[in-house]
Amino acid sequence: MGIQKKIRLCTILILNASIEANSSLYVVRRGDVLSEVLFRNVPGRIYGKNGNLSKVKKINPELHSVSHIVPGETIVLPAGEGQFTQYELMLRSKSKKVVKKSTLEDFRKVTDKSIFQHLYIEAHLSSISLNAIDLISGENEISTSDLSFGLGLEWQHYWNKHFGLLFQFSYSQYDFKVSANKSLVDEKINKLYGGVGLKYSSSKHHSYVFQTGLEEKLLLTSQTSNTLRIDKNTAPTFTISGKHLFKSFSEKFHLVGFWKGGVNFGTTQPDYSTDSGFFWSLGFGSSFRDNNKFFNIDINYAQSSFGTSRLEQTTKEASISIGAGFEF
């Protein structure tokens, strides 16, 4: 055992002895959730001002976060109040029934608030290119934007450590340009997206999102031979995305990669109908976590294609985003 581990263990033992005579040490195992540990091992209620979770925070000041306990970490558990743990009380109440293996999972789904929900806000800079080809004349029109600004908001509610519900909203504003011999009806265009999805985390390293929403798609069309316009079409979307932890440099700093793929469904407009199209994106970023707060920097490239009976368009977008969030 290293010197630092010996010093830390001695500190915990001294603290343990000085706080409560009946408190105990617990070594975290893989897959442990702190509320479950208290549920099985410590009498009395878990949550609340004087609950066992609050006591753990006080007697373990070196604990970075009660939401993310690390395997091998040693935690001082409080003595608790009463004779029976919450798990024992549950078994006693079901003494005349067969206790199924799912009992603890059911408890977690209903009452586990060690990671209850999180809110994330980001700002992003991006550049987008619209490349439209007229299928009849063969003419190719291109419009690109200057470096543009946008905002994103994400809220997640966790049912347990594997499943959660999320809502996303984003706003972007673009300033488009066209070639010198063309003009654009409206150069400043904004775009909105809103969606809801189901998140599944297979482990702390891998998570997946199945999401549906409404997105404003931008379509470059010709108004006259020298005048172009950008139409906005609100289309329903379905998306599957994944996020993966590639490297952990410490308990707080991580390198992640992410991907996304999906379909934009066709819509009917006053002058034309749009076909369904596909989109995908790839990106990577860094994440820094401090207790229940986290900060991200991400770089992303996205591409989509859709069109009408008259034209086909490919949209390409590169972006960098900076965001911050917290769990509560």
Domain assignments of the chain as residue spans, ordered by start: 3-111, 117-327
The answer to whether residues 108 and 297 touch, using CB atoms and an 8 Å cutoff, is no
Which of 41-45, 125-129, 147-151, 212-216 bottoms out in mean pLDDT, i.e. has the lowest? 41-45
Whole-number Å distance between alpha carbons of 250 and 192? 37
Model pLDDT, residue 16: 47
**117-327 is a CATH 3.40.50.140 domain:** no
Whole-number Å distance between alpha carbons of 165 and 20? 40
Whole-number Å distance between alpha carbons of 45 and 23? 16
Whole-number Å distance between alpha carbons of 288 and 253? 5
DSSP state of 117: E
Does the pLDDT of residue 103 top 70, yes or no?
no
**At 3, is the pLDDT very low, low, confident or very high (cuts 50, 70, 90)?**
low
In tens, the pLDDT along 204-260 reads 889 999 999 999 999 888 888 788 988 888 999 999 999 999 888 887 899 999 999
The answer to whether residues 170 and 148 touch, using CB atoms and an 8 Å cutoff, is no
Whole-number Å distance between alpha carbons of 23 and 20? 5
